[in-house]
Amino acid sequence: MPMTELPGKHVPIRLWADPATVEPNVIEQLYNITTVPQVAGVAVMPDVHLGIGATVGSVIAMRDAVCPAAVGVDIGCGMTAVQTSLRAKDLPDDLGDLRTRIEAAIPVGRAMHDGGAADLRGLPGFEPGALDLFWAGFDELATEVKARRTRATAQLGTLGSGNHFIEFCLDTEDRVWLMLHSGSRNIGKELADHHIGVARSLSHNEGLVDRDLAVFLAHTPEMDAYRSDLFWAQTYAKHNRAIMMGLFQNVVRTLFARAKPTFDQVISCHHNYVSEETYDGQDLLVTRKGAIRAGSGELGIIPGSMGTKSYIVKGLGNEAAFNSASHGAGRRMSRNQAKKAYTVADLERQTAGVECRKDVGVLDEIPGAYKSIEKVMQSQTDLVEIVAELRQLVCVKG
């Protein structure tokens, strides 16, 4: 689908979705983003849906400013995936044991690592002391989160809940992939909430149509503090996924030892984050809230929902979209709407053939609550090309 340009106040809205399929309140929220004086461009992905302040599925470029709500509260949330040497023929008919072992190795939901930290022995890239420099930066974070170090340490290498997941997948050539989705856990949320509150209190944001679009301005103490905490949280999210992927690989090595599995290079991408990028000679701060970077040749991951397809993609470097693409299927129902619209029996039908939870606790994650991933992919053929198409065999949720 070609890009559609809608009118905005300071800049147009570049939309990679059929405007007729986008809810009026989402269009209104997108227009509100264009009223922020510092905005330099807005690109909207095909999985777009309503968010707090900034729309989920939006890419917002700003001059000398950044809007913390345009990153979201799960700073650094993103995806990690790796292709393995395993094939469908190497797998047993029943993968229940694999799911049990994953859940035993990687804490999910509100659970944390026993002993306060993940066991990094034998994990690729995590030799003793590998995280010391990173943790040294904790002392520089906002005072409001200083009491959270013990919890943040115990949650590094854990899944969380909501739409976060760990999956064991097959591609169309019967090759096994490992994939997971998570972010910066509670410490990232607390940092985001703190800085969004600070931004809302600043006098230069008083005239905004939505105070959740409050910005920090360059060369101010508030901006410096936010950027420092933001980049630390983005690194936390990256380490969080790397540790989980290492633990996941260890489970697979043990369970399928006879097949001697090996693993290709890990693919990893944020989809809630800030990046410093240059377009048309301008140095901009680009926030992606529910979007991945898709520069020319860059690999990325676009998941569907429980029971639907996911994709490994290669970016096409479309600068009109600020080198971006969607982060997934995108919700078409709120969590409460999904719980009212569907039953556990519906969940069982929609996740048939997938080893996963099939209970009321994950009903809000039912595939029917999400947009069609196939339609989302059809809408961004000028943003990415598909490298691999995956389907889940096992899906672990918190």
Catalytic (active-site) positions: 327
Compute the residue count for the chain: 398
Q: Which candidate, 317, 319, 322, 270, places its Cα nearest to that of 295?
A: 317
356: number of Cβ within 10 Å: 22
- Residue 105 in tokens: 């190795």
215 within 8 A of 35, measured Cβ to Cβ: no
In angstroms, rounded to a whole number, what is the distance separating the alpha carbons of residues 63 and 40?
A: 6
DSSP string, 204-241: GGTT-SSGGG--EETTSHHHHHHHHHHHHHHHHHHHHH
Question: What's the Rg (C-alpha) of the chain?
Answer: 21
Consecutive H or E run containing 25: helix 24-34
Q: Pairing mode, if any, of strands 324-326 and 216-217?
A: unpaired
378: number of Cβ within 10 Å: 11
110: number of Cβ within 10 Å: 11
